[in-house]
Structure 1
């Protein structure tokens, strides 16, 4: 699942090397944390959240069990 989200995000953003995906398991299901460069947040979220909603729909379709998959989008911290 993380490779799928990474592939989608890297093809949407201007800085694909800044894409970072972390998967965490919780009682309620999987949480996928997607971090991109500050300049690319808008591209991943999309107008009125449509792109993020589409990524979530793809994640739900790719899920092989009954667990819920969540997508969290965050800004990647700038390197000092």
Structure 2
């Protein structure tokens, strides 16, 4: 569910939605969500001063409260 959410948000923000790749790495207490976008779109996903990335992380933490797991968003370049 969280993977789909991150993928949807990222595809909505970028110019090249076909290049969006989201991977999940499951851990015991936390899950790492890796987000990879085209080089030209990395700024759109991060935003000025990291505001968009912070907003996505906030949404993930709200989702994590329901499941009791912790989600970590990593934006790969």
With the length of structure 2 as denominator, give the TM-score of the two structures: 0.91
Secondary structure (helix, strand or coil) at the match of 1:59 reads helix
Deviation at 1:35, TM superposition (A): 0.3
Structure 1 equivalent of residue 67 of structure 2? 65
Q: Whole-Å Cα distance in 2 between the matches of residues 23 and 73 of structure 1?
A: 12
Which structure 2 residue ranges, 5 or more long, are not aligned? none
Which structure 1 residue ranges, 5 or more long, are not aligned? 76-80
Aligned residues between the structures: 75
Secondary structure (helix, strand or coil) at the match of 2:7 reads helix
Aligned Cα RMSD in Å? Answer: 0.9
Larger fraction in helix: 2
Secondary structure (helix, strand or coil) at the match of 2:15 reads coil
Structure 2 equivalent of residue 78 of structure 1? none
With the length of structure 1 as denominator, give the TM-score of the two structures: 0.88
Poorly superposed stretches of 4+, deviation over 6 Å: none
